[in-house]
Structure 1
Amino acid sequence: MSNTYLTTEELSARIKYDARTIRNCLKDSVLLEGRHYIRPFGGRKILYIWEVIEGDMLDASKEAMAIPMAAGGVCHG
């Protein structure tokens, strides 16, 4: 499996968020180490895994359009 690794600035350009917002607000709350990003060779440099982030964004947008039902199901509008 081939992954696309992005720096914070490259991710910023793709998702249209400021790089500072990614570092201060999204990292470690929405973007999780080991799933959405790695620190190669145990260093300080962070590389984001594009395919995982893109998949999670698409899944979240699908869930946002669903209406939760009392029995635990969802209504898709």
Structure 2
Amino acid sequence: MSHQTFLTTEELAQRIKYDARTIRNQLKDSVLIEGVHYVRPFGGRKILYIWEQILEDMTKVQPRSTSIPMAAGGVCNG
């Protein structure tokens, strides 16, 4: 079984230099996925973040997008 480091919201905030409120309000549910990046132990309300998975995803190189958003919606791929 692999070792995983579980962090509270405050501990994660310190490591990635984000405000804990940003993690709770913006990253969770949009960037961080339950079951991948965080768990709710024993089906409770408390959230513990999985450091190794977050670190791996944070350091992935994302391809540069050449899409240009259009005012009327959609994108122009240039």
Q: Which runs of 4+ in 1 moved over 6 A?
A: none
**How big is the shift at 1:68?**
6.0
Report 1:1-77 matches (<5 A): 1-59=2-60, 62-63=61-62, 66-67=63-64
Tell me which protein shows more helix as a share of its residues: 1
Segments of structure 2 that go 5 or more residues without pairing to the other structure are: 67-78
Equivalenced residues, count: 65
TM-score, structure 1 normalization: 0.79
Structure showing greater Rg: 2
Segments of structure 1 that go 5 or more residues without pairing to the other structure are: 70-77
Question: How big is each residue's C-alpha offset from its partner over 1:30-69, in whole Å with a ceiling of 9 and x where there is no partner?
Answer: 001000000000000000000000000011xx22xx4469
Distance between the aligned counterparts of 1:35 and 1:13, measured in 2? 20
Distance between the aligned counterparts of 1:36 and 1:11, measured in 2? 11
Q: Sequence identity, in percent? A: 68
Distance between the aligned counterparts of 2:3 and 2:59, measured in 1? 19
Cα distance change, pair 20–67 in 1 and its aligned pair in 2 (3 A): closer
CA-based RMSD of the aligned residues comes to: 1.4
